[in-house]
Amino acid sequence: MRTFGRLLTFLRPYRRGVIASFTLAALAMLGTVAIPELAGAAVNAIHDGHHRGELLAYALAIAGAGVIRFGLTASRRLIAGRVSLGVEYDLRNNLFAQLQALELAFFDRQQTGQLMSRVTVDLQSVRFFLGYGLIFMVQSGLTIALAAVAMFVLQPELAAIALLPVPFVIYATYRYSRLARPALEEVQQRIAELTADVQENIAGVRVVKAFARESHQRARFERSVMRVFEQSMIEARLQTRYNPVIGFLPQLGLAAVLLVGGHAVIRHELNIGDFTAFYLYLLMLLSPMQTLGVTLTMAQRATASGARIFQVLDRAPRLTAPADAPPLPAGSGHVRFEGVSMRYAGASTDALHEIHLDLPAGRTVALLGATGSGKTTLAALVARLYDPTAGRVLIDGADLREVEIGSLRRAIAITGDDPFLFSTSVHANIAYARADATRAEVEDAARRAQADGFIRLLPQGYDTLIGERGLTVSGGQRQRLAIARAILADPRILVLDDATSSVDATTEREIKLALAEVMAERTTFIIAHRLSTIALADAVVILEHGEIAAQGTHDELLEVSELYREMIEQSQASGVGVKRSRQRPKAVRR
């Protein structure tokens, strides 16, 4: 009931529409209630042989009541549709805003398809119930109440007989309601899992095709569909068990009324017109009772979907700043790690452990180490994509947990080894870092990233639309576009996470020349697997199992670090050496 009550709060901004819908529904029901009484009077007129003009008047009155009911019902549906779409609009925006507010760690543990299911399938269930099902429930309840009152006014004894099955209908409805909700929650969960499978398969279609695993994916999808089918059958069996009972019980009252009332008419204890009116009221009562199961299914499905939606909306962001947090103070990008440890949720060991590192403003440090050594995690902490589990990270003297997050992120640009591009134009992808950037500024950033040449060869140049996730351009081209985006951002701190891994040696040298110019004015972290990349760095930090194994200049590490010498030897054996400039690099302070 708590979830149901919370769903109703989303109607608050549309209370005028809701009140109008209920009012129109009530007025329409008054017209509906008048029709059996008029029909009964018309039957009596026929039976008594009254004048044709009187019969015509009753017929016109019934038609008029029907027209009024039609107009009121049409207006109510239009208003209810507006309320329904408004609720969906608000819920969708609230959900998306919440997803944008949640920290990166939340998405690390969530399937994209599961989240998509909440924003689509679950929202639809809530929308249809709040917009239509709720009003239908109220209208059905009002119909039952008005019909019952009219029946008692006409024939109290017959009304008591007709309503004898009602307590049993209420009990069956209660039982169905209790059993249906958990079953429907499981159905929604299975649908979400199916959506996740579809999303994952589409995202990984290149891998599927490359390994000819289409049949495997089909079999996996069929299993997901079967789980949805099996769970839906559980819910269908509940409907089969209870809905016919809910529909059948009122028929017993109808049969009893025909039997008892029919005898009363034969014995002239009840005139045919009153019996007709009573019978029509009974039919009017039966219809909403028979469809009660359908309405309850809508309510239970909406409640189950609402619970899944509230799981996201109630998830408080865990990476926040104080309400009165100041912006990142002015500075040139002095970065300091003080005893920083980092452990991901669910992990048994630290990704980083007791990191002490001091990088003066304007310097460049290369982070080396095997996969899983903690290089990317360290860089992610600089942008506060995660918070350390111990210690603190400072930029220009400010603890990152104490400054406004937006100002921090605007001071940092990150490019990765698999950069993400949006399904929009080349210009828009580069300008994503600065929405107000001019075409000239975008083109200048592209030239500095060695991307202008291939962009101008595209069909529409900078206006060429890039396919989903940038898969219509090569990996090296995506990296250069991402570097251009970072250059355009003009950050205080630049993080290059293996940013030239997908380009050839010639292009890499060209990009490095451009990066050398860019990095000269800002603090830079270079995460490298190619040791040739460290030629750009003032100093080198080697990470091993989440700890700093060694740090210093290239020459210093050659003298003191066996691990670094092994890396150099392996690099030279692969033909990718490390060329140093004549200027002696400056060390990172411990």
- Which residue range is the domain that position 212 belongs to? 2-313
Distances (CA, A) of 3 to 14, 274, 305: 19, 45, 10
User: What pLDDT score does 573 carry?
Assistant: 64
Q: Within a 10 A sphere around the Cβ of 52, how many other Cβ atoms? A: 8
Same domain, yes or no: 206 and 331 = no
For residues 228 and 517, what is the distance between their CA atoms, to the nearest angstrom? 57
Same domain, yes or no: 268 and 398 = no
User: Quick check: is 201 in a domain?
Assistant: yes
Among 292, 313, 334, the domain-final residue is: 313
Q: Which residue has the tokens 């899983």?
A: 372
Same domain, yes or no: 112 and 36 = yes
Among 290, 313, 336, the domain-final residue is: 313
Q: Looking at residue 429, which CATH number applies to its domain?
A: 3.40.50.300
Same domain, yes or no: 188 and 76 = yes
Same domain, yes or no: 305 and 360 = no
One-character DSSP codes across 535-575: GG-SEEEEEETTEEEEEE-HHHHHHH-HHHHHHHHHHHHTT
Among 313, 331, 352, the domain-final residue is: 313
User: Quick check: is 403 in a domain?
Assistant: yes
Same domain, yes or no: 481 and 520 = no
Same domain, yes or no: 479 and 553 = no
User: What pLDDT score does 1 carry?
Assistant: 67
**Which tokens hold the place of 105?**
């760690």
Helix or strand run (H / E) with residue 263: helix 214-266
Same domain, yes or no: 15 and 102 = yes
User: What pLDDT score does 574 carry?
Assistant: 60
User: What pLDDT score does 270 carry?
Assistant: 82
Same domain, yes or no: 13 and 162 = yes
User: Quick check: is 17 in a domain?
Assistant: yes
Same domain, yes or no: 78 and 112 = yes
Start-to-end C-alpha separation, the chain: 59
User: What pLDDT score does 534 carry?
Assistant: 74
Nearest to 422 by CA among 383, 379, 469: 469
User: Quick check: is 156 in a domain?
Assistant: yes
* Phi, psi of 543, rounded to the nearest 5 degrees: -105, 140
User: Quick check: is 197 in a domain?
Assistant: yes
User: Quick check: is 259 in a domain?
Assistant: yes
Same domain, yes or no: 402 and 452 = no
* pLDDT tens-digit series, residues 279-288: 888 888 877 8
User: Quick check: is 416 in a domain?
Assistant: no
Total residues found in the chain within this entry: 590
Q: Looking at residue 246, which CATH number applies to its domain?
A: 1.20.1560.10
Residue spans of the chain under pLDDT 70:
1, 47-52, 293, 468-471, 499-505, 507-508, 510-511, 513-514, 517, 529-533, 571-590
Question: What pTM was estimated for this model as a whole?
Answer: 0.75
User: Quick check: is 280 in a domain?
Assistant: yes
Nearest to 437 by CA among 282, 173, 445, 304: 445
Same domain, yes or no: 336 and 469 = no
One-character DSSP codes across 412-433: EEEE-SS----SSBHHHHHGGG
* Number of domains present in the structure of the chain: 3
